Amino acid sequence: MECQPAKSPLAASDGGGPDCAASQMIAVQIQRNAAAKIDTFTLQLDPADLGRMDIELKFSHDGRLKAHMTVERPETLVLLQKDAAHLERVLQQNGLQTDGQSLSFDL
């Protein structure tokens, strides 16, 4: 499932398109922290009932990103796994090199 406007807790509430608000927020924070050389950080997802997420960033020798995300809620894990392809595209649009193995999720 790709993000659909207002059909899941990750969907943007303004109905302005298929972008996921949570995926966008995660991608922006990953990009900012990667640029600042911060490799471990925690996010409070919005809406708050999605819980918190710990993110660990690693870069391979060729510059490809590996991001391991640990969430506190099983429902959030399922939503993020379903939205992984969209999140990867957003990261690429923000200038990060990713591939099909760049993102991993855990509870």
Q: Which residues contact 48 (CB under 8 A, 6 or more apart)?
A: none
Which two three-digit tokens encode residue 31? 């990009």
Question: What's the CA gap between 98 and 44, in Å, rounded?
Answer: 23
Q: What pTM value is reported for the model?
A: 0.80
Average pLDDT of the residues in 67-90: 94
- Percent of the chain surpassing pLDDT 70: 81
pLDDT at 36 over 70: yes
Which two three-digit tokens encode residue 15? 């109905």
The model's pLDDT over 6-32, given as tens digits with 9 standing for 90+, comes to 334 454 433 433 336 788 889 999 999
